[in-house]
Amino acid sequence: MPVQPSALLTDLYQFTMLQGYLEQGMEETAVFEFFVRKLPPNRGFLMAAGLESALEFLETVHFTPQEVDWLAASGRFNRRFLDYVAGFRFSGEVHAMPEGTVFFPDEPILRLTAPIPQAQLVETRLINLLHYQCLVASKAARTVLAAPGKLLVDFGLRRAHGAEAGLLAARAAYIAGFSGTSNVLAEREFGVPCYGTMAHSFVQAHDDETAAFEHFARAQPDNVVLLIDTYDTEAAARKVAELALRLRRDGIRTKAVRLDSGDLGAHARAVRRILDQGGLPEVGIFASGNLDEFAVRELVSGGAPIDGFGVGTRMLTSADAPYLDCAYKLEEYAGQPRRKRSEGKATWPGRKQVYRNYDGAGAMERDVLTLDGDAHAGQGLLRPVMGQGRRLGPAVPLTESRALAALELGRLPEPLRRLGVSPPYPVEVAPALRELAAAVDARPV
């Protein structure tokens, strides 16, 4: 992660509540869990991402003296509050599902245990980091399922919602199985491989389209991907066919052409024919322009001769479902399980664990949501990752999370691999958890 933003990037109510907790001397241990309440329409599963960013945030979050002064000058806070934030560091525990894990509604993907002032104070940014990366990884995973064996590149930085969205999306999409990104900073910060071609403006700035192609190729002989839809796609493909032979004589290989508008499938077929007839079967076709998993699936299943896709805006904004109904909720305080009962937003109390079971072929079969300590068959998905405010091990390399995601997508039950509606994956709530919820509800408030 690049520099975390100021600890003031939070909701004011975290501060007003903190002052309340401190005034009452309420500093006992709280357990909060981050989970998604329900799936977006037409989605069958979600993919966990953002944990490393969250852990880095927890390890580093603090208030600078200037920030404390500014809070003091606002006149909103008392001395006790200001002293607390001046010395604030996170010292709690975290259990979490590894990045790349497939998960379902009501399953916590992160459980945080810390004195309540700390656990509360980190809420906003934790949600902000986890929500967006889960959102993009979940969307990107669908594109990966729709385009087996194709090169997939994130092209979305420009219309991502701000700088950090562009950066975190490149990371999340790579975990989910994308090959790389157009975003240079994502390569530097995260090691996500970076891809780049050319824009229409490069062609437009030349009076002659062929000259534009040739200039680009000679300036970038190792990365010749030519954008051919600025004026007339097939006409440009013929220019490329002629040029590529000349370039070949000079030892320059034309890697691919890029299509960015019109009927991509029809253009791809026509362009493939032109390239093949020109003796250029090795020149690939790369397509972009308003793509998402549905468009990619249609092109792939229609047999369009396209070797790779640039997927941008619709993935980085998760356009069909631009947010997840997620929450970070208090499940236990001072040893007592807690539960919110708001209409439509009730939560399961207590510290929880998720057990996953697989069928004989290795496909996910059912999950059990239960209390931590109530052992069930299957694999426990939440593991300890932070203690006393420090990671328990080295940061997980992105390639490892990516490998896990690939394994997870391979284990998805067949109906969930489709892009449309599927029967919900079974997540059973264990009797121990139901009993605890009933007991909590019986307490007066």
Residue showing tokens 């680009």: 216
Specify the DSSP element, H or E, that contains 96.
Answer: strand 93-96
Minimum Å gap between C-beta 55 and a copy of itself is 16
Minimum Å gap between C-beta 376 and a copy of itself is 27
Listed residue (263, 256, 316, 310) closest to 287, CA to CA: 310
Task: Give the nearer residue to a copy of itself in terms of CB position, either 159 or 417.
Answer: 159
DSSP symbols for 222-243? T-EEEE--SS-HHHHHHHHHHH
Task: Give the nearer residue to a copy of itself in terms of CB position, either 182 or 370.
Answer: 182
| Sheet of 224-227, strand order | 180-181, 151-154, 308-311, 284-288, 254-259, 224-227
Task: Give the nearer residue to a copy of itself in terms of CB position, either 14 or 179.
Answer: 14
Listed residue (108, 174, 103) closest to 316, CA to CA: 174
Minimum Å gap between C-beta 26 and a copy of itself is 6
Task: Give the nearer residue to a copy of itself in terms of CB position, either 101 or 120.
Answer: 120
How buried is 79 (Cβ within 10 angstroms: 0-12 exposed, 13-18 middle, 19+ buried)? exposed
Minimum Å gap between C-beta 156 and a copy of itself is 9
For strands 180-181 and 151-154, give the pairing.
parallel
Contact partners, residue 44, CB within 8 Å, separation at least 6: 415, 416, 418, 421, 422, 424, 425
Minimum Å gap between C-beta 357 and a copy of itself is 32
Minimum Å gap between C-beta 433 and a copy of itself is 17
Q: Which residues pair with 308 in a beta bridge?
A: 151, 286
Task: Give the nearer residue to a copy of itself in terms of CB position, either 67 or 372.
Answer: 67
Task: Give the nearer residue to a copy of itself in terms of CB position, either 188 or 390.
Answer: 188
Task: Give the nearer residue to a copy of itself in terms of CB position, either 254 or 425.
Answer: 254
Q: What is the spatial distance between Cα 150 and Cα 127, in angstroms, rounded to a whole number?
A: 32
Task: Give the nearer residue to a copy of itself in terms of CB position, either 138 or 318.
Answer: 318
Task: Give the nearer residue to a copy of itself in terms of CB position, either 235 or 407.
Answer: 235
Residue type at 293?
E
Q: What is the spatial distance between Cα 138 and Cα 149, in angstroms, rounded to a whole number?
A: 19
How buried is 208 (Cβ within 10 angstroms: 0-12 exposed, 13-18 middle, 19+ buried)? exposed
Is the separation of the CB atoms in 98 and 383 below 8 Å?
yes
DSSP annotation of 194 reads B
Task: Count CA atoms within 13 Å of residue 355 on its CB side.
Answer: 14
| Longest distance between any two alpha carbons in the chain, whole Å | 84
CA quadruple 241, 244, 248, 249: dihedral sign: positive
Minimum Å gap between C-beta 415 and a copy of itself is 27
Minimum Å gap between C-beta 240 and a copy of itself is 14
Minimum Å gap between C-beta 40 and a copy of itself is 11
Task: Give the nearer residue to a copy of itself in terms of CB position, either 3 or 361.
Answer: 3
Minimum Å gap between C-beta 17 and a copy of itself is 5
